[in-house]
Amino acid sequence: MLTSGIDGVKEMLKLNPWDEVILDLKLADIGNTMITTLKALEGVGDAVIAHSFTGIEGSLGELSQYCRERGLKLYLVLAMSHRGWPLEFTEKLLRLASEVDPHGLVVPATKPELIRLARSLFPAKVLISPGVGVQGAREGDALCAGADYEIVGRSIYAAPDPFLALSKIVLSQEVRVNECKGAEAR
């Protein structure tokens, strides 16, 4: 059993050579506060998720500069996976994302049209996609729409056997991706 809190995260980091540890803090504050938060977490994680919504001057501009200096990858949220998220902000958030030029973007698996749009506008950015499983998207759907990674939470950590759940999800992703790639090739 792991300890909770930052100590628990640090224990978990020692368990395995993870490819990339992303802190899903969904930071949404002034630059000073977001940087203070990251300083408290120094050495924990390779990347961090922030909202794009707060704008640049006094917020994302400072955060982005801090992340560059520390070699921390920054992901910005373009939209969230739940039904209530106000999609009318998308155009502005795309402009903010373009200006901040982060390492990657968070685009929900529940909104595949938005993943396609983000992929076409930002061909080189890493797109990560939450909303798979409990929140309603099928495994592989976001990958088919152009995402690089799918974020799966509760379907794994709330499963009686998380490793088995994970293996099944990876299999479902492969099946789905083969289907959609096959459909494209036809």
Catalytic sites, residue numbers? 26
Quick one: which segment of 14-22, 79-87, 111-119, 173-181 binds a second copy (CB under 8 A)?
A: 79-87
Restricted to residues 11-50, the positions that interact with a second copy (CB under 8 A) are: 26, 28-32, 40
Q: State the minimum distance, in angstroms, from the CB of residue 64 to a second copy.
A: 12
Tokens of 91: 């155009």
If one asks whether residue 66 binds a second copy (CB under 8 A), the answer comes out as: no
Sites for a second copy among residues 92-151 (CB under 8 A): 92, 96, 135
Distance between CA 104 and CA 98 in Å, rounded? Answer: 11
- In whole angstroms, the minimum distance from the beta carbon of 18 to a second copy comes to 21
Of the residues 38, 47, 59, 64, which one makes contact with a second copy according to CB under 8 A: 59
User: Taking a C-beta distance cutoff of 8 angstroms, is the pair 119, 89 a contact?
Assistant: no
CB of 30 to a second copy, least distance (A): 5
Contact 129, 105 (CB under 8 A): no
| Residue 101 CB neighbour total at 10 angstroms | 12
DSSP, residue by residue, 76-143 = EES--SSTTS-GGGHHHHHHHHHHH--SEEE--TT-HHHHHHHHHH-TTSEEEE--BSTTSBPTTHHH
Enumerate the β-bridge partners of residue 49: 75
Smallest distance from a second copy to CB 81, Å:
7
With CB under 8 A as the contact rule, the residue among 84, 123, 160, 182 that binds a second copy is: 84
Which stretches of the chain bind a second copy, using CB under 8 A? 4-5, 26, 28-32, 40, 51, 53-61, 80-86, 88-89, 92, 96, 135, 154
